[in-house]
């Protein structure tokens, strides 16, 4: 079912209503009134993850709901800042608009960019030139990012300035090399060396995914969900037979695992 797109005036009016509601809550609701940047931050992280879950599920109603929750946090932080005389949501929107125009000279200026890859390359070069912006290529990667996402982003940024494999096929020699080094580290029994080599192996596999246009975070999450569904199937079958999953033999678990795979294909 398609949804009628609201007019620009209707969209602005809807945003105005939620800002008015937030203004009232900030004064009249004890919980909303006591919130600070620090108290909201953990909830913001949770809301972003819930949005990511809805996006993976490709569920439009959930995506709409979670986008609303994230939008509330953006408005809330802006409201807190306005109370401190720092900035308000208009300043946030104006700064974003200015940045988008400045970083898209191929649309609003004279530069050329005929491919998405060229746009990304220009974007990184522009960010390096921005006054007060990042002074090094990798400085813009947040230190608090999860390790898998951080690895992907630093690889992307390095590639955007030319530090990359000439062809995707070349990365497999590196992956095989890292597998060999993991084996050597395991044979040595040095736990610190084993951890370091596993890190190198994971980094190289993430690099391979990037080169083949696969987002490793999305790929791994889909595999996580697939594993959970199949494992839950094994457990459910054991429970239905009046047994605990621990009581199943490995061969029985494998048979049920294959059944789970087959039934998933027919869903």
Taking only the tens place, the pLDDT of each residue in 206-227 is 999 999 999 999 899 889 999 9
Shared domain for 24 and 75, answered yes or no, is yes
Residues present in the chain in total: 267
Determine the average pLDDT of the residues in 90-116. 88
Number of folded domains in the chain? 3
Residue 53 has pLDDT above 90, yes or no: no
> Domain containing 43: what range?
10-94
* Domain presence at residue 191: yes
Average pLDDT for 121-142: 72
CA distances, 46 to each of 49, 73, 127, 188 (Å): 5, 11, 29, 41
Distance CA 215, CA 198 (A): 20
- Examine the pLDDT at 1 and tell me if it is beyond 60: no
CB atoms inside a 10 Å sphere around CB 121: 16
Q: Are residues 259 and 197 in the same domain?
A: no
The residue-averaged pLDDT of 3-18 equals 91
Tell me if residue 211 falls in helix, strand or coil: helix
Q: Is the pLDDT of residue 267 over 70?
A: no
Q: Which two tokens stand for residue 242?
A: 């009046």
The predicted structure's pLDDT at residue 5: 85
pTM of the model: 0.66
């Amino acid at each position: 079912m398609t949804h009628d797109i609201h007019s620009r005036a209707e969209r602005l009016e809807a945003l105005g209503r939620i800002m008015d509601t937030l203004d009232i809550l900030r004064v009249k609701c004890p919980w909303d009134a006591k919130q600070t940047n620090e108290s909201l931050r953990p909830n913001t992280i949770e809301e972003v993850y819930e949005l990511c879950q809805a996006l993976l599920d490709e569920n439009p109603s959930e995506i709409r709901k979670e986008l609303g929750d994230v939008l509330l946090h953006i408005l809330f932080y802006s409201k807190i800042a306005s109370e401190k005389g720092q900035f308000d949501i208009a300043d946030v929107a104006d700064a974003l608009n200015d940045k988008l125009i400045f970083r898209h000279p191929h649309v609003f200026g004279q530069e050329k960019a005929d491919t998405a890859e060229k746009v990304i390359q220009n974007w990184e070069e522009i960010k390096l030139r921005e006054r007060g912006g990042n002074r090094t290529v990798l400085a813009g990667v947040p230190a608090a990012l999860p390790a898998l996402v951080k690895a992907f982003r630093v690889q992307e940024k390095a590639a955007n300035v030319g530090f990359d494999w000439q062809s995707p096929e070349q990365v497999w020699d590196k992956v095989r090399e890292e597998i060999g080094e993991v084996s050597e580290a395991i044979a040595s029994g040095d736990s610190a060396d084993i951890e370091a080599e596993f890190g190198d192996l994971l980094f190289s596999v993430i690099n391979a995914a990037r080169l083949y246009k696969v987002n490793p975070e999305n790929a791994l999450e889909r595999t996580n969900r697939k594993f959970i569904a199949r494992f839950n199937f094994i457990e459910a079958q054991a429970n239905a037979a009046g047994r605990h999953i621990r009581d199943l033999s490995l061969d029985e678990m494998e048979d049920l695992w294959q059944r789970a795979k087959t039934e998933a294909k027919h869903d």
